[in-house]
Each structure stands twice: as C-alpha cells, then as structure tokens.
Structure 1
C-alpha cells in the first residue's frame, strides 16, 4: 500500500537546489542527486538521516568481514568506498540490501508495519488525533497546520513523523497497550524520551547525501554482528522487545539509530492517516548511563554516578542557548587533554569527529574543515513536552581534533570562554548604567545574548581559518597561532565596545551626571558612580578577559598622552 523504499516520502534538496520528494531507493540509485534533507524540522531531518545511516552501515557490514587471521583495514575501505560513491553517485550494496528486507519497509503491512506494531490497540479501542506525533501542531495556536490539515496526514508526512517520534518522543503517561505487561490501570507510565532526544545530535555534512553518509561512518558501525536495526529484528509486539527474544539493551549504532522508544500504529482511511495509537516502547537502561555506542553524540562524565572502579558517562545534549560557546568543549576536547581532574574527567567527543581526524592522517581527499550540524531538543518539566528544537552549524578544522593539537585546542577553548566573559561584562555594564541613572542593578541577559549571537558567525569563520595556519600552529610557541588568537580578541573587543557605546548613547543625562551610592549603614561617605565610571570598569574587565588587547590599549593611551604634551 505504501513502501518507504519505492514511494516518495523523504524531502530532499537536489543538486539543482530544487525540493523533491523521493523514496529510499531513489537516494541510492543515482537517479536523484540528493544534496541534503529538508523536511518539516531540523530534528525530523536528523532522525531520517540516522535511519538512512543505519541502512548504509548495515548494507556495508559484510565488507568488514575478513578471513581468520586477517584484519579489516577500515581506512582503505573508507577511501575506496567514498571514491566509488562520489564517482558513480549510486550504491549497489545498499540496493541489494534493501531488496533483502523490502517487506519490512511497508508502512501499512498487516504483520510487520514499518516501525509499528500490527494490531496495536488500547482497551477502549480509541486512536489519538494525528497531532500526537506532530509536535508543531499540538497547540491550536501558532501552528503551521490549521483546519482540515490538522486532522489528517498524507502517508509521506506520516512516515516522516513516525521516524521522528521513535527518535524524539517526549516522556509522560502514554496509552496503555493491550498486551503490555507494564500497563497499570490502563496507563503506560513514563519510561523517558526517545534515545535521540537524550543526545547531542552531530552530523558532518558532505558535498551530497551519499558523501554525508560515508563521512558519518565509523568502524564500529560496520563490525558488530549483533548490531541490528529494527527491520532486521523480529517484529515488535506491544510488550518490551525481550518478549520477542531480543535483548533489552542497545546493541550498537544501528540499533540506537532506530531505537523503538514507542509502540505505534497509524490508522488510515485508504488515502490519509487519520489517527494514531502511541504507547510505551523500549526504555533506554539507566537513563543512558554508559550507553556509549552512538558515534554521533558527545558524552559527559558523571562524578555523582561514577564509582572507584567504574566511570559513568551520559549522552550530552547541546545547549539550546549559546550553543557554540557552551558546547565547544564537547566537540573538540580529547580525553588526554589537560585541565581535567579525577573528579571531573574530560567529556567524550562524538566518535565521528575523532574518526575523521584519524582518517585524515591516513588517507587523502578529506575536507580540512568539517561542516558540522548540531541538533538538540529541549524538553519541558519531567520531559513531558517538547519545549524547543534547536539546530546550529559549525566550521570545525580537522587539525584541532588531532591528538598532537592539545595546545591549539586549549587556545580555541580559551577564546570561546573569553568571548563569553566579555559578553557577560557587557551585560553587567548595561545593568550598572541603571544604577548610574538612579535605579537598581539588574544584569541584562538580553544584552549578553545579543552580542554573543552577533559574534557567533564571526567566531565560526575564525575557527574555520585555523585550518589555513602553518603546520607548526599546534605547537605552543607558534607565532601564527598567537597572532590568530590576538586577531580574535581584537574582534571581540571591537564588537563589545561598539555595543557599549550604543548603550551609553541611550543611557540618558542622569547616568552621565552620576550619583553617590552607599554600600550599607556604616558607609558614611558613599561612592560616586556615573556612566563613565562603569565604562572604565567595563574596559578593565575586557583587559582581563582579552589580555592580548590590553597591551594594545595601553600603548594607544600612551601615544595619545605623548601627542597631547608635544
């Protein structure tokens, strides 16, 4: 009735920059020159991309098998496969694999519908409204879907949102499926969000979709025989997967990329999807503790959960606010870098990034700057709703990911921290202007966020330029690296000062006249403050945050004083 292999349902942008709807096979035959996905939301695109990656990984897993006594040469396989994909624009291995499992990609199959459970029902027999799986439409207001469009989904739309729900569905009480031994009083009690929603989604973008697939492939995604996506496993029933003889723990990257966090059944009227049943599926054990097989997320160390002989890590979502500044460590830090103690160990960067850093020293033709896309979903209280979906892009030079680039990483991390400190100083300055004008102090978060947002694309460009530095830039005495650091600090100072002057112009005459403030009942003299006082204080803070510019400012001041006396 609707095959995800042959019927169009994935929204892509092709090489002519046109939006098209394609089936899975179309992407791998070479007939469609797919460049990237562009569905209803970035999170949905990431979920669908992980589905395609699971197909790609499993299609090529046989190529990782070698004769006894032999070793699989991943770098050689990677170079040969990427060259073939880029030259032919098609993938025969995937097409043969899809033929093998074609019956498992039917959206409305009577026994094993794709990512669903045949016959799934609740005691009352009711199905929920289709907005249950479309987060953007769950409110009657501020929705892109209205009227009849809110009441039905095309089969293509339903397929995309089905993949999204399995990846990202929020926690909370679900309908209690008949046959689920966990149901109490007709309810399925919370088991957590979908696996992908727990992670910081990381994707390295290639020149086209096939290139993106190979760039996000690590050796471990090919070599684990127990790692099977949902369509290779026994079809799920309403209960946990162990009831069908499957292990309840994730078995590898492909298993996690298609993790069935929910039991779902789409109801259709022959032309459109008109309702849906969504129940609890498979729970991620221990809230994701040491589920380390996903190569597309960073992991954070948990000092609270770790024990003497057991280090515990959790997947780390990216911060939806100030993403670049707060998430940089998770992307670039190597576990051997200094600055971390036994109580607070270094995070684990996404495996796909470490993989490309290693491959770049073994094979030719890899990009020197990685175009990285980041995805995160922020949930509401008790993770019972989707609050914010966030996506960002970064230019990440491969050189800073290499093992011998610890100095360069330290400097780049320091620049991100210094930028944040400078922006925070500007937020304090804005609050201090209120004091100078006779009001009460209030830190101006919006001012800090505004300047960080302005600096983010500039930092991204500066970060990308690191790839052009000489080979010795990774060494501590590198003049080129130090010059790059100074250049960035100058950029930050100029932007912050420009914002500060704008704030001064709007501060009003009272702020310039100033006032005397007292710190307490014992303060008999008080302290005189004005806009000028706080502007000087801001620049002292900038001197501390951006030391490479402090000496420059001092020199300029001396030259000005010398000119004035001549």
Structure 2
C-alpha cells in the first residue's frame, strides 16, 4: 500500500482465491475479481458486515445501481461475475475523475471515513488499540489480551482501515473525547453515546460460493431504485443542503434518520482521525482520536441485515418492529425459528426474519437461485456490559441453509427443519429435568438457573456437527420424500443416541442412595424422588419427542437402575 493509504489500488485486503491461495489486493481488484475470490481473510467475525456495509456494497450499488426487479437481479447473478460494462462503471467510479481520491486513509484533505484535522479539546491522542475490542484499552479490559494500554500497538494502513470501519459499526457507548469545534462537547468529553449501529442488531449475512455471489445476495431489490439524494459518506457534499445534516468530514454531529440505503450502510457513528508515523517497515498507525459521531434516530425497517421482533400492540412511542439480538451461548441453528420466520405472527408477538433471507426465498421461487444452491448464513453480534461501555462477548457462527426452506408458499421442508431443531431443544430440556430429578433423589437440590453447566449444553454441543451435516444435506433433497424421511429418521436416531449417552453418564454419577431416594413435601403432599422414577420419566419423554427413532428401536438405550 502506498504511503497515503490508497485503498483503490494498494494491496491491503486479505483474500483467498479459487484454488485456496491467500493474497492481498486492493478495492478495485477485489471487486473486479470477486467471482474468483472464495472469501475475505478478516480478523473477526464482526468485520465482514462492517466491510460489506461501509465499503464494498455501497461502492457497487452506487456505481452500478440496484436491481429494480427480481428478473434484473437474476440476470446479474446469472452472469456469475461483474460484466465488462459493470467493471467499466466500477473502474470509472473509483478513478480520478470521480471518487478515487477520496479512498485514501492517510493524509490529504479528506481521508477516508475520517475527519482530517480532528483535535481533542485536551490536545491528547490515544493508542490505536482503542479501535480493537479484543485489546485492553481504557475501561475495556478483555480477559485474555496480549497487550496492555502501556504497550504500543502499530497497525498497517490496511489493518487500521478495517478497525476504523469496525468502530463506525460496533464501537462501545463509552464516553468519547470532546472534539474542537463540536458545540455539544462538555468538559472535554461527550456522553450519552449509543453503540455503533450494528451493535444494536443481531446481524445476519447471507453468503454464497464466492465474493461476487455474496455481494449479490446482500444486494436488496428496490423497485424505485436509489433515491438520488441518498449518497454514501464519501459523497456527503452531494447531499441536499436542505437536509441540514452535519458533514461527516467535520467535528459536529447530529441525531438524525437515514437518507436511504447508501447513507445507512456508510453511517458515520463516530468522528475519527488516524495518526501514523514512519517506521522501518513503512507507515504505521499508532495513535487515534475517537469522538462522538452521528446518532441514528431509530434503526430503520429498511435495514436488510437483521431479524426483527414483531410486537402486535407496542407501547406508546415504541415501534412495532425492533431489531432482534442474538443470544450468547447458542449455536446459529438453535435460532432457526427466527431465521425461518418468513411471515409476521398472525396473532401476538414473535420473530420476523431479515429482508435478505425473505428475498432469497422469493428468488428461489423464481428459479433465480437453484434448489440445490449452497446458501450460507453468517451471524454475528457483540454483547456489551456496564452501560454498553465495554465489550463482554463476541458472537459469531455460520450455517448452511437450504434455500427451499425459505419458500414462503411451500413450508414442508421448513417444517421439517424447525421440528428437528425443536427436538434437539426439547431433548436437552428432558436431560436437564433428569439431572434435577437425580440430584433430588441423591439428597441435593437442582442447579440454580444461572449456575453451573447443564447437561443440555454438552448434549447440544455433541449434536452441533450432526445438525450442520443435516442442513447441508437437505440442500439437495429436492422433492424426494423418501430421502427426506430417511434424513429425519437418521436425525432422530442421532439425537436419541446422544441423549442416551448423556443420560447414562448422569446416572453413573449418582450415589447408591438415589435408588432408594427420598420423600419431600410439595404443597403439603409427599413426593417421592428416586433414580428409577427419574429415568423412567426421561425415557417416556424421549419417546414422545422422537417418535420415528422410538418406532425404529423402541428398546434402544434403556438404562438400568
């Protein structure tokens, strides 16, 4: 990469090509060669949506335009790559006649996604580690960090760019440095900052076989196209002055709605300046200023990268639909009920999947996506703590997903997948109940809800690979009912075998007195707790949950007491 951090032609972005070879490339080349790029090499799961939204997608959509119909989308997708005409549009867009000079991150009057002359009111700068959540900095103290705030962190321009984009999307809500020229800064700081826009979502990103397909799968179809007034952050000076919004290239900020998809994707939630110094290896970013930036008035329902919680009767002043966050400690397949919620709840409250997954189902219905297309879904999110001022946990997972399960009018495959996920969940709860009953029979008490590791956690972990293989296999099931029934049976047998193994492990650990058990008073009545009774109740419940496996081998796994 050149000393001024040229993003267009400098080699800064890690990628893996079709034959598995790693390379570094620039913005223009990675887009032109998107069809030969298997995946991007990024330092964290939360980096993919940040890079897609803050850079790759808005460049593509602004240069080429959005498809207005499913047919237009299918034609683009069917080419398997950007056409010669589209490559010419991208090249011109990133060239010197248009926006090429605005894609440099070091020096210049308009460094990318930064404020060129940003100064702190106290005149100080901070370590660039402030941009990296996994490194100890300020109040953010991860459990495992190779560096402390006393250590100097040096980032290459490419690394610094990635964490710069990440901060715009995921930064914590901690107090920000007051900036010179910001009238809302008080006593050298700005309080009341929300997290970055993605920090308020449970991010869902559909992925394809290569970067081109991933870009297409994340391209919304807009019948009216892009609003001419909707501009990305690097073209902020082309927005109508009548909007009265603050320039992201200056220290002032405002609370405002978004002006469209490009504005949403490139929303500048912070005012940032990277500070570099020369080293023997070239320029390295070592200091940073992070000040308050624009605040979203509300997450718009046009955001395509999140599922939603639908409320039938919201309270006064609350939206009917709010972003749905991911739950820590759960695999992505345990949230299939949300990912496959294609329709709003008929009555009451419930989940509603992302616009892009609904769109993928519509495209499958039009045969724009083949029935056996290897669609993947990546989910990610951050869990914040202490008033959202620190990062407590990062959530990241990927999942194969049969596109046929996204068909709104044909729910047979979707029903099977949801039943399989439900069976795993119910079998896990049956194991937890068995553990509680065995503890009572042994003279103890059940585990508190928020303490210790439950048998269901181990059980679901064992099933993780099986579920992923099932989902990958169901991509090719087509309309073969016999194959689907065999897959269901194989799944139930796997669930039963794993549940029986866990049950036998629990039973082997109880003391002999559990056979005799004990009697306790519950609401004035004597209740007997003993191991034989607990095991019998467990197998009865397991038979209800797994009818196909029970019919196939009704005596399989019966434990003795």
Q: Normalized against structure 1, the TM-score is what?
A: 0.85
Work out the CA distance in 2 between the residues paired with 1:73 and 1:140. 46
Specify the alignment match of 1:245 in structure 2. none
Specify the alignment match of 2:520 in structure 1. 518
Equivalent runs, 1:162-561 vs 2, <5 Å: 162-220=164-222, 223-225=225-227, 226-234=229-237, 235-236=247-248, 237-240=250-253, 248-270=256-278, 271-286=283-298, 288=299, 291-303=300-312, 305=314, 312-335=320-343, 340-344=345-349, 346-364=350-368, 366=370, 367-442=372-447, 445-471=453-479, 484-511=487-514, 513-519=515-521, 522-523=524-525, 526-552=526-552
Judged with a 3 Å threshold, the aligned counterparts in structure 2 of structure 1 residues 521 and 221 are, in CA distance, closer, same or farther, namely closer
Aligned pair count reads 529
Specify the alignment match of 1:58 in structure 2. 62
Q: What CA deviation, in whole Å up to 9, does each residue of 1:511-560 have, x standing for no partner?
A: 3x33222225955xx554333221112112223333444555658899xx
From 49, 57, 69, the equivalent of 2:52 is 49
Judged with a 3 Å threshold, the aligned counterparts in structure 2 of structure 1 residues 104 and 87 are, in CA distance, closer, same or farther, namely closer
Equivalent runs, 1:18-57 vs 2, <5 Å: 18-30=21-33, 33-50=36-53, 51-57=55-61
Matched residue SS, 1:376: strand
Matched residue SS, 1:300: strand
Work out the CA distance in 2 between the residues paired with 1:89 and 1:44. 30
For structure 1, the 5+ residue unaligned runs are 65-71, 243-247, 474-478, 559-566
Given that 1:324 and 1:456 are in contact with CA atoms closer than 8 Å, whether structure 2 keeps it comes out as no
Given that 2:431 and 2:503 are in contact with CA atoms closer than 8 Å, whether structure 1 keeps it comes out as yes
Given that 2:209 and 2:374 are in contact with CA atoms closer than 8 Å, whether structure 1 keeps it comes out as no
Judged with a 3 Å threshold, the aligned counterparts in structure 2 of structure 1 residues 221 and 277 are, in CA distance, closer, same or farther, namely farther
Answer 1 or 2: which has greater helix percent. 1
From 109, 133, 136, the equivalent of 1:111 is 109
Given that 2:37 and 2:210 are in contact with CA atoms closer than 8 Å, whether structure 1 keeps it comes out as yes
Given that 1:9 and 1:160 are in contact with CA atoms closer than 8 Å, whether structure 2 keeps it comes out as no
Deviation at 1:484, TM superposition (A): 4.4
Work out the CA distance in 2 between the residues paired with 1:463 and 1:301. 27
Deviation at 1:80, TM superposition (A): 3.5
Work out the CA distance in 1 between the residues paired with 2:180 and 2:444. 62
Judged with a 3 Å threshold, the aligned counterparts in structure 2 of structure 1 residues 261 and 516 are, in CA distance, closer, same or farther, namely same
Deviation at 1:146, TM superposition (A): 6.7
Q: What CA deviation, in whole Å up to 9, does each residue of 1:484-523 have, x standing for no partner?
A: 4444333212211111112222334343x33222225955
Matched residue SS, 1:91: helix
Judged with a 3 Å threshold, the aligned counterparts in structure 2 of structure 1 residues 147 and 173 are, in CA distance, closer, same or farther, namely closer
Deviation at 1:161, TM superposition (A): 0.5
Work out the CA distance in 2 between the residues paired with 1:134 and 1:89. 39
Deviation at 1:401, TM superposition (A): 0.7
Given that 1:357 and 1:398 are in contact with CA atoms closer than 8 Å, whether structure 2 keeps it comes out as yes
Deviation at 1:120, TM superposition (A): 1.2
Q: RMSD in angstroms over aligned alpha carbons?
A: 3.1
Work out the CA distance in 2 between the residues paired with 1:58 and 1:261. 21
Deviation at 1:357, TM superposition (A): 1.8
Q: What CA deviation, in whole Å up to 9, does each residue of 1:365-387 have, x standing for no partner?
A: 64534121111111113211111
Q: Normalized against structure 2, the TM-score is what?
A: 0.85
Specify the alignment match of 1:563 in structure 2. none
Matched residue SS, 2:94: helix
Q: What CA deviation, in whole Å up to 9, does each residue of 1:437-493 have, x standing for no partner?
A: 2322226643211111221221222233333335386xxxxx765664444333212
Judged with a 3 Å threshold, the aligned counterparts in structure 2 of structure 1 residues 431 and 218 are, in CA distance, closer, same or farther, namely same
- The answer to whether 1:76 aligns with 2:76 is no
